[in-house]
Amino acid sequence: MIRVAIAGTGRMGRAIAAGLESRDDMELVGYWGRGDDLDALLPGADVVIDFSLPGGTMQVLDAAVRHGKPLVCGVSGLGEEQMARVADAAISVPLVYDRNMSLGVAVLTRSVREAAASLGTDFDLTVSEVHHVHKKDAPSGTALKLGEAVATARGEAGTGSVTFHSERRGEVPGDHEVVMQSPTERLVFAHSVTTRQVFADGAIRAARWIVGQPAGRYRMSDVLFGE
């Protein structure tokens, strides 16, 4: 039985807890929220799933290292210094960090990377995304992830050649579209989310996978494809 601790008591934390109820090989040992005692929760867990906030993630990273616990983190909006802390923690513990835990987005990212590498620089690249009005970061972490994937595949150091479009409306969980266009043809890759449960299910799959892995930083592509 894999024992799971959840950092974050909001909607994502509750969605992960709901997802764990249907797993025969996993169980929830407790939640952590700001002000709670992480050091009391982690000894009883085999893995930690973090969907708190950027400030809380720094506390979770430190506690995971102290207790030697594998960590799955899906918190977006981390700055450069915070990402450096993620990299430092991965030296000591196995850590899956991804801006989007959806299995479909992992497949989408792989597909657009391969397409961009094949098509080269003759195609213009546009990444568009729509999210709910409560989302603060724009472009979304997933849009940046997709832009970085195609730019790297084309041998570019940054995403300067990628055009990003962001829209915030209603309660849209997340829609992403990558368009590759030349003067003669247009290729479109798209992914839509109908419920945030997909992120919880992806995080649970990552948590099952990360237990027993060696220390290091992993992504959802590693979980799905062993990349």
Task: Give catalytic residues, as residue numbers.
Answer: 131, 135
Decide: helix, strand or coil at residue 6: strand
The residue type found at 97 is Y
Sheet holding 162-168, edge to edge: 162-168, 124-131, 174-181, 186-193
Q: Which regions of 63-215 does DSSP assign to beta strands (E)?
A: 71-73, 94-97, 124-131, 162-168, 174-181, 186-193
Decide: helix, strand or coil at residue 22: coil
Extract long-range pairs of 178-181: CB within 8 Å, 24+ residues apart: 178/108, 178/112, 178/125, 178/126, 178/127, 178/146, 178/150, 179/125, 179/126, 179/127, 179/128, 180/112, 180/115, 180/116, 180/119, 180/123, 180/124, 180/125, 180/150, 181/123, 181/124, 181/126
CA–CA dist 140, 198 (Å, integer)? 17
